Chain A
Amino acid sequence: MDLSYGEENESYRKDVREFLKVAWNPASVEKPAMKAYIAGFREKATGKGYLYRAIPREFGGSQQPVDVLKAQVIREEFARARAPMEVGGNGMNMVVPTLLERGTQEQKEQFIRKTMSGEYIWGQGYSEPGSGSDLASVRTKAVLDGDKWVINGQKIWTSQGMDATHMFMLARTEADAPKHAGITYLLLSLDHPGVTRQPIKQITGGATFCEFFFEDVTTPVAWQIGDRGDGWNVSKTTLKHERASIGSADMLGHQFAQLVKLAKETQRNGQPAIKDPLVRDALVRIEGWVLAHRYSSYRLFSHAAAGDPPPSVGLMMKLLLTEIGHDIALTAEDMIGDEAMLEPAPPGTRGRGPEKWLDQIMGSLGNSIAGGTTNIQRNIIGERGLGLPRDPAMGA
Chain B
Amino acid sequence: MRFHLSEEQGAIQDAIRGTLADSLPSEKLHKLIDGEAEFDRESWDALMALGLGGLMLPEQYGGSDLGLLDAALSAEVGGEGAVSGPLIGQIATGLAIAESDDDDAKSAWLPKLATGDAVATLAFGRDWLPESWDVSAVGNRVSGSVRFVQAATMADVYLVGLAGGKLALVEAGEHVEVQPLESFDRTRRQSTVIFNSAPATLLSADSGRIFDVALILAAADALGGAQKALDMTVAYAKEREQFGQPIGQFQALKHQIAQMALEVEPARALVWYAAYAFDKGLDDARRAAAIANAHLSDRFVSIGRAAVAAHGGIGYTWEYDLSIWFRRSIYSRAYLGGPAVHRERAAQLANW
Contact = CB atoms under 8 A, between A and B. Distances in A.
Contact of A280 (B234, B246, B273, B352): B352
B291 A287 contact: yes
A296 B266 contact: yes
Interface stretch (A190-198, A205-213, A335-343, A383-391): A383-391
Contact of B262 (A288, A316, A391): A316
Contacts of A320: 262, 266
A312 B255 contact: no
Given A296-B266, A302-B3, A1 B272 contact: yes
Contacts of A5: 1
A181 interface: no
A240 to B, nearest CB: 18
B262 A387 contact: no
B251 interface: yes
Interface stretch (B128-136, B300-308, B339-347): B339-347
A3 interface: yes
Interface of B: 1-4, 69, 234, 237-238, 245-246, 248-249, 251, 254-255, 257-259, 261-262, 265-270, 272-273, 276, 288, 291-292, 294-295, 298, 340, 343-344, 346-347, 352
Given A69-B1, A382-B248, A387-B234, A284 B257 contact: no
B294 A385 contact: no
B216 to A, nearest CB: 14
A353 to B, nearest CB: 23
B343 A379 contact: no
Given A281-B343, A375-B251, 10 more contacts: A5-B1, A281-B340, A288-B298, A295-B273, A296-B268, A299-B3, A306-B4, A377-B258, A382-B258, A389-B249
User: Chain A: interface residue count, which band?
Assistant: 35 or more
Contacts of B346: 284, 287
Nearest to A69: B1
B4 A299 contact: yes
A313 B254 contact: no
Contacts of B265: 296, 311-313, 316
Contacts of B276: 1, 3
B249 A388 contact: yes
A390 B254 CA distance: 9
Given A288-B295, A295-B270, A379-B251, A283 B347 contact: yes
A6 B272 CA distance: 20
A2 interface: yes
Nearest to A280: B347
A296 B269 contact: yes
Given A388-B257, A391-B251, A313 B269 contact: yes
A151 to B, nearest CB: 34
Interface string A289-318: 101110110110111011010011100100
A352 interface: no
A112 B248 CA distance: 45
Given A299-B4, A302-B2, A308-B4, A390 B269 contact: no
Contacts of B268: 296, 299, 313
A4 B270 CA distance: 18
B266 A274 contact: no
Given A292-B269, A387-B238, A284 B261 contact: no
Interface in A170-213: none
B269 A284 contact: no
A65 interface: no
A85 interface: no
Nearest to B254: A382
7 contacts: A1-B2, A298-B269, A313-B269, A319-B262, A382-B258, A388-B249, A389-B246
B343 A284 contact: yes
Interface in A352-396: 375, 377-379, 381-383, 385-391
Contacts of B245: 389
A279 to B, nearest CB: 9
Interface pairs A-B: 7 shortest CB-CB: A288-B295, A295-B269, A284-B343, A382-B254, A302-B3, A381-B258, A378-B258
Q: Which of A288, A305, A379, A390 is packed against the most chain B CB atoms within 10 Å?
A: A288
Contacts of A303: 4
A285 interface: yes
B54 to A, nearest CB: 21
A305 B2 CA distance: 8
A277 B344 contact: yes
Interface string A123-156: 0000000000000000000000000000000000
Contacts of A283: 347, 352
Contacts of A302: 1-4
A381 B262 contact: yes
Contact of B258 (A295, A296, A311, A386): A386
Contacts of A291: 270, 273, 288, 291
A327 interface: no
A306 B2 contact: yes
Contacts of B249: 388-391
A385 B264 CA distance: 13
A260 B257 CA distance: 32
Given A292-B269, A389-B238, A298 B3 contact: yes
Nearest to A284: B343
A323 interface: yes
A316 B273 CA distance: 19
Given A3-B1, A308-B4, A323-B262, A386 B344 contact: no
Contacts of B238: 387-389
Given A1-B272, A388-B248, A391-B249, A381 B261 contact: yes
Contacts of B246: 389
Q: Which of A283, A306, A378 is packed against the most chain B CB atoms within 10 Å?
A: A378
Contact of A316 (B2, B234, B266, B347): B266
Contacts of A311: 4, 265
